[in-house]
Amino acid sequence: MGNLFIEDVQEKLDSYHWDMLPSQSRICFPIIYRLNVKMRIGLQFPGIIIDKSLIIDGHHRYIASKLVNVPIDKYPGIRPSNHHLYTWKDVQLIAEDWDTPEKLNFLTGKMHSIMCIQ
């Protein structure tokens, strides 16, 4: 897959037979796009957390790994009571980038603080 477009990914979400189910109804397309590019060049990412066939954590990594046909590890977890059950047809891809510079700076600062404490 050369270029990745939001419409193509939405179509895959709606029509592809996925082996896992989502527990969120909104997914950030720019994050999937970046993960897709990185996975295509061979970067590896942490596995996803699942409860049976429900994704608890790792929706973006799961979708990107399926798009590039790269396996991703799955680790067992416990479904929190506030996680809802959805189908992939319920999932809406969002064009807005959730990784804003402010959020990245905040997370980078938090990680720096954690590393300095250790």
The pTM (predicted TM-score) of the whole model is 0.82
Instruction: Tell me if 21 sits within 8 A of 54, measured CB to CB.
Output: yes
Give the confidence band of 114 by pLDDT, cuts at 50, 70, 90: very low
The tens digit of pLDDT for each residue in 67-106 reads 999 999 999 999 888 878 899 999 999 998 887 777 666 5
What the block records as the tokens of 18 is 């996925």
Angular region, 49: left φ>0, alpha ψ -120 to 50, beta rest: beta
